[in-house]
Amino acid sequence: MGQRAAIYCRVSTADQSCGRQERDLTTFAGRAGYDVVATFKETGSGAKLDRAERRKVLALAQARQIDAILVTELSRWGRSTIDLLNTLRELENWKVSVIAMNGMAFDLSSPHGRMLATFLSAIAEFERDLISERVKSGLAAAKARGKKLGRQAGERPKSDRLASKVMTLNAEGRSYRWIARDLGISKNTVADIVKRNRLSLAPKIETSP
């Protein structure tokens, strides 16, 4: 019996099809001796936060029901270098590898996998620096134009926008850490959202004057 694997396919737009990825990965799995447990197909850009099918693959990995995740290329799996590295580290805890058809195999328990992770870490740091530089440059330009910067009192645009997703995942029993990683927010933000929503649903006690 070969290793258990999940096939993950993703296309960016609705006018594209996962058919070719699925066929290529099924053939690849047969040649490499993987037993395909399930196939997941998703439509959405690499930057899209709500990737429900990818969450299902991670759930299988966490439940120790698969040994590997098969993708045509790493860009189908990771939203960014940072996201790729974070998910690889999480998968390492569950002894699950990400295998791309181009020969890239990420198993952080192996010397080769750790070497690639070190290389990715350097790229991720460079990516973070570039983003930080662009943000600072944009803020400086906006300030020069007289634009009012910073969140105003009572405004929580990002956390308010993600509140329903956070509460749904929380109701499914996901940990704050899981939710934070999956939605690209901090663990503290997740805790604040859950706390605010629970307080809003709590019955109010009326007091006599």
Among 12, 80, 121, 159, the active-site one is 12
Q: Is 97 a catalytic residue?
A: no
The runs of H, that is alpha helices, within the chain are 19-32, 52-62, 74-77, 81-93, 111-144, 157-171, 176-183, 187-201
CA 158 vs CA 161, 166, 183, 193: distances in Å: 5, 12, 11, 11
Question: Contact 98/61 with Cβ under 8 angstroms?
Answer: no
Rounded Cα gap, residues 194 and 163, in angstroms: 8
CB atoms within 10 A of CB 13: 8
- Fill in the DSSP letter of residue 152: P
Q: Which residues fall within 8 angstroms of residue 130, CB to CB, at 6 or more apart?
A: none
98: DSSP letter: E
Do the strands 97-100 and 105-106 form a parallel or antiparallel pair, or are they unpaired? antiparallel
- Check residue 49 and report its DSSP letter: S
Q: Of 96, 74, 87, nearest to 3 (Cα)?
A: 96
CA–CA gap between residue 66 and residue 56 (Å, rounded): 12
Q: Which residues are catalytic?
A: 12
